[in-house]
C-alpha cells in the first residue's frame, strides 16, 4: 500500500515535467507560426512596392515630356511690355474717341429732330395763315364786287354827258373794272361823251386786258 503511494508520488513530478515540456513545444510552435505569417506578409508588401515602383519607372521612361513638365518650375507671369502698354493706351483712347463721336451724333440727331419739329410746326402755322389770308381775300373780293356793282348802277342811271366827265377823272384800272361790268349800250353812250384821247386810252387798255376765251368753254358752248 505504501509502495503504491510512493510510486504515484514519483510519477507526479514526471507528469508535471511532461506537461511543461508539451506546453513549451506548443508555445514554440505558435511563435514560429506567427513569425512565419509576419514574414509572408512583409514579403507580399515588398513585392507590391517593387511592382509599383517598376511601373512608375516604366511610365516615366515612356513619357519623358510628362516627367519634364512635372519637374519644370511654373512659368513666371511678368508685367506687360512697353509696346503692349502703348497698344492698350491707343485702344483706350480710340474707344474714348468713338464714345465722344457717338455722343456728338446723338446730340446732332436730337437737334435735327428738334429743328424738324419746329419746321413742321412753322409749316402748320403758315398753312393756317394761308387759309386765313385766302378767307380774308375772298371777303375783300366780295366787298369790292359789291362796291363796283353799286358804282356801275350809279353810272348807268346817270345821263352819258353828265357821267363822262366824272368817269374820265377815275383811275384807268377803275375805268376798266367799271366798263367790264356795264351794259354794252351804256358803255358806248358813255365813251361818245368822253374826250377822244381818254376814250382811245380806255379802248387800248380794254383790248390789252381782255383774256382769250377758255378752249373748253368754247368747245362746250359750240355743242
pTM over 0.75: no
Query: Cell for 36?
Result: 512565419
Confidence of residue 105 (pLDDT cuts 50, 70, 90): very high
- Contact between residue 194 and residue 221 where contact means Cβ atoms under 8 Å apart: no
pLDDT digits (tens, 9 = 90+) for 45-101: 666 666 656 555 554 444 544 455 455 555 555 677 888 888 888 999 999 999 999
DSSP 63: -
Query: Considering the chain, what is the average pLDDT of its residues?
Result: 75
Average pLDDT over residues 174-179: 91
Confidence of residue 5 (pLDDT cuts 50, 70, 90): very low
- Contact between residue 136 and residue 166 where contact means Cβ atoms under 8 Å apart: no
Q: Where are the beta strands (DSSP E) in the chain?
A: none
Predicted confidence (pLDDT) at residue 132 exceeds the cutoff of 70: yes
Least Cα distance to 165 among 175, 173, 152, 177 occurs for 175
Query: In 3-state terms, what secondary structure has residue 126?
Result: helix
Please enumerate in sequence order all residues whose Cβ is within 8 A of that of 187, keeping only pairs 6 or more positions apart, or say none: 179
Predicted confidence (pLDDT) at residue 178 exceeds the cutoff of 70: yes
Q: What is the largest CA-CA distance in the chain?
A: 216
Across 14-28, b (16+ Cβ under 10 Å) vs e yields eeeeeeeeeeeeeee
- Contact between residue 167 and residue 190 where contact means Cβ atoms under 8 Å apart: yes
Query: Cell for 63?
Result: 513619357
Average pLDDT over residues 30-45: 52
Counting residues of the chain whose pLDDT is more than 90, the rounded percentage is: 38
Least confident of 23-27, 134-138, 151-155, 195-199: 23-27
Amino acid at each position: 500500500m505504501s509502495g503504491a503511494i510512493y510510486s504515484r508520488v514519483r510519477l507526479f513530478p514526471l507528469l508535471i515535467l511532461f506537461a511543461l515540456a508539451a506546453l513549451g513545444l506548443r508555445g514554440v510552435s505558435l511563435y514560429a507560426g506567427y513569425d512565419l505569417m509576419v514574414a509572408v506578409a512583409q514579403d507580399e508588401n515588398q513585392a507590391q512596392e517593387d511592382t509599383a515602383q517598376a511601373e512608375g519607372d516604366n511610365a516615366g521612361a515612356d513619357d519623358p515630356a510628362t516627367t519634364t513638365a512635372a519637374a519644370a518650375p511654373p512659368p513666371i507671369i511678368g508685367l506687360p511690355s512697353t509696346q503692349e502698354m502703348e497698344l492698350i493706351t491707343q485702344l483706350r483712347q480710340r474707344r474714348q474717341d468713338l464714345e465722344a463721336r457717338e455722343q456728338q451724333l446723338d446730340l446732332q440727331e436730337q437737334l435735327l429732330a428738334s429743328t424738324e419739329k419746329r419746321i413742321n410746326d412753322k409749316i402748320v402755322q403758315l398753312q393756317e395763315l394761308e387759309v386765313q389770308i385766302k378767307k380774308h381775300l375772298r371777303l375783300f373780293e366780295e366787298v369790292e364786287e359789291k362796291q363796283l356793282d353799286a358804282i356801275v348802277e350809279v353810272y348807268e342811271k346817270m345821263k352819258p354827258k353828265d357821267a363822262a366827265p366824272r368817269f374820265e377823272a377815275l383811275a384807268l384800272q377803275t375805268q376798266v373794272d367799271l366798263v367790264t361790268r356795264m351794259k354794252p349800250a351804256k358803255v358806248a353812250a358813255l365813251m361818245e361823251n368822253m374826250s377822244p384821247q381818254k376814250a382811245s386810252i380806255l379802248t387800248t387798255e380794254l383790248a390789252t386786258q381782255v383774256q382769250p376765251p377758255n378752249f373748253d368753254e368754247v368747245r362746250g358752248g359750240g355743242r
